[in-house]
Amino acid sequence: MSVIAQQEVSVAPALPPAATLDDVLRHASPAEVISAALKIVGREHLALVSSFGTESAALLKVMADVDPAIPVVFLDTGWLFQETLDYRDALTRQLGLTDVRSIKPLEETLSREDPDKELWFSDPDACCRIRKVEPLARALKPFAAWINGRKRFQGGVRSDISVVEQDGSRLKFNPFANVSREEIEAIYTSANLPPHPLVASGFLSVGCMPCTSRSEAGEDERAGRWRGRSKTECGIHTTPTS
């Protein structure tokens, strides 16, 4: 075992059971959930994973108010809209985030498994695996817990998520599990947060360019993701990270 690995093991916190934490935090505010995660895990072992998508600014604002130095993991898949990359940079400046880490898929993996850049069409699950799931697992190796922005009102498999979950050997905090769309809008208004640039064009949920389309009136907000396919999740929330 390397010296670095020994250090990581020696300082890793002993984590309480996710179910116990969920019982305590299931009615807590998003800020209280993030503060609890920070206290339990410690900043060096806690990361927030953000897509810098259409609702990401609200969670990032709450986190920044608690501690703007919490590491933020951003998965730069190579297929993102330029508007998303620009939005990442703008929010980072506005919120004073000090540790945003843009993680890319490994070039050798892309060359081997997606040399023609057509995997998104022939096998979108495999495309998500090499561009999102595997990079996230790599990025989260130093961390004992992570925070994400899923909400129950988004529906589908997200409709009954807990505030705290077990994700392999890690804890997974969902501070916005209980919030409503109106509460998120209130955060945007009170903090004067800019919307994602593509919202005005009809994109209610933004992911990678080939697999994201505009949503029609009355559709579920994630209807524009992988349209025409049974796929509804990229895999980072359905595949344990360790």
* Catalytic annotation, residues: 234
145, 172 contact by CB (below 8 A): yes
Radius of gyration of the chain (CA): 18
In 3-state terms, the chain is what percent helix, strand and coil (to 5)? 45, 10, 45
For residues 59 and 33, give the distance between their C-alpha atoms in angstroms, rounded to a whole number. Answer: 11
User: In the block, which residue shows the tokens 């949920």?
Assistant: 205
Among candidates 52, 149, 38, 54, which has minimal Cα distance to 97? Answer: 52
Cα–Cα separations (whole angstroms), residue 50 to 87, 147, 159, 219: 12, 9, 19, 24
The neighbouring-strand residues paired with 100 are 72
Supply the DSSP string of 161-208, one letter for each residue: --SEEEETTEEEE-TTTT--HHHHHHHHHHHTPPPPTTGGGT-SS--B
For residues 10 and 149, give the distance between their C-alpha atoms in angstroms, rounded to a whole number. Answer: 30
